[in-house]
Amino acid sequence: MSAPTFRPARREDVARIVELLAGDPLGAGRERFEDPLPDSYYAAFDRIEASDGNVLTVAELDGVVVGCLQMTFIPGLSNQGADLALIEGVRVDTTLRSQGLGGQLIEWALNAARARGCQAVELFTHKTRTDAHRFYDRLGFEQSHVGYRIKL
Amino acid sequence: MSAPTFRPARREDVARIVELLAGDPLGAGRERFEDPLPDSYYAAFDRIEASDGNVLTVAELDGVVVGCLQMTFIPGLSNQGADLALIEGVRVDTTLRSQGLGGQLIEWALNAARARGCQAVELFTHKTRTDAHRFYDRLGFEQSHVGYRIKL
């Protein structure tokens, strides 16, 4: 496999990113990967672009988008005023799993967080994603917290 | 107990917020509630103020700051482009626990998230905070995720 490259997502990547988000059991039940794509995805992309703390990134392999993740950079008073980064929406093309691409994507994200001066990175994974748990355990993340969610 | 009021934190609240953050077993080990307060807290407050997606809020009772929390409003493509809010740094003065103040603070935050158009609220609590787990369980939050963290 050639080396992946990482770049900020562009508006023309949105459909492919939604395809990636929809490409797993949890995502399949909640996303709408349709043609035309629902406007709500483009509106969300525009809000990400307009916000100073959010970066949506894609991984490319030979010119094809094969992975994605979003980072949110969060200032806060806790830990003596340490910034942290939250990683969300991590996906790798299902046909390219177990080839190290996910690990490279997360390593890229950790370096991006260091470059922004963050002192920690946090992420939620659904309780049922046991493969993801093994993945993050292996990368040195600690299962230190319980992740709570409430729908509004 | 009179009814609490909620307002955005001001720079002159920073020391009191750090006192609240330091006022529990986990916070005591990592914060520096000193006089003068380390500059890193004020620098973090300024970054929160300058960011468009973060709101630091205090609860006041009879003119005294008795609680705090931070909210981060996060746009994203997942869930058909639904915004979510992350709650962090929730504290209530230890002398005022179990009087409903924490519940009112979280209800205020859920309403603030609704007002911003968020469709869900998420938060991390440390695995060891079993009192907090009961608190969020009771408020209708679901322990749906594992919370991972890595130090940089």
Query: Is residue A70 included in any domain, yes or no?
Result: yes
Q: What is the pLDDT of residue A2?
A: 81
Query: Is residue B145 included in any domain, yes or no?
Result: no
Query: Is residue B100 included in any domain, yes or no?
Result: yes
Q: Which of A77, A125, A151 sits opposite B17 (nearest CB)?
A: A77
Q: What is the pLDDT of residue B147?
A: 97
Q: What is the pLDDT of residue B61?
A: 96
- Residue B108: give the domain boundaries: 5-138
How many domains does chain B contain in total?
1
Q: Which of A48, A126, A145 to mutate to test the interface with B (most CBs of B within 10 A)?
A: A145
Q: How far is CA A9 from the centre of its chain?
A: 11
Chain mean pLDDT for chain B: 95
Query: Is residue B152 included in any domain, yes or no?
Result: no
Q: What is the pLDDT of residue A1?
A: 66
Query: Is residue B143 included in any domain, yes or no?
Result: no
Query: Is residue A131 included in any domain, yes or no?
Result: yes
Read off the pLDDT of each residue in B52-80 and give the average, rounded to a whole number: 97
Candidates B50, B71, B150; CA nearest to A109 is B150
Q: What is the pLDDT of residue B1?
A: 66
Q: What is the pLDDT of residue A116?
A: 95
What percent of chain B stands above pLDDT 70? 99
Report chain A residues whose CB lies below 8 A from the CB of B119: 151-152
Read off the pLDDT of each residue in B86-94 and give the average, rounded to a whole number: 96
| CATH (domain of A89) | 3.40.630.30
Helix A39-50 crosses helix A14-22 at what angle (to 10 degrees)?
110
What is the ipTM score, two decimals? 0.95
Task: Tell me which chain B residue has its CA closest to the CA of residue A48.
Answer: B75
Task: Tell me which chain A residue has its CA closest to the CA of residue B16.
Answer: A77
pLDDT tens-digit map of A67-86 = 999 999 999 999 999 999 99
Provide the pLDDT confidence category of residue A139 given band limits of 50, 70 and 90.
very high
Give the distance between the most distant pair of CA atoms in chain A.
48
Read off the pLDDT of each residue in A82-102 and give the average, rounded to a whole number: 94
What percent of chain A stands above pLDDT 70? 99
Query: Is residue A40 included in any domain, yes or no?
Result: yes
Cβ of residue B78 closer than 8 Å to a chain A Cβ: yes
Q: What is the pLDDT of residue A24?
A: 85
Q: What is the pLDDT of residue A98?
A: 84
pTM, two decimals, is: 0.95
A-proximal residues of B, 104-133, CB under 8 Å: 110, 113-114, 118-127, 133
Q: What is the pLDDT of residue B36?
A: 94
Query: Is residue A144 included in any domain, yes or no?
Result: no
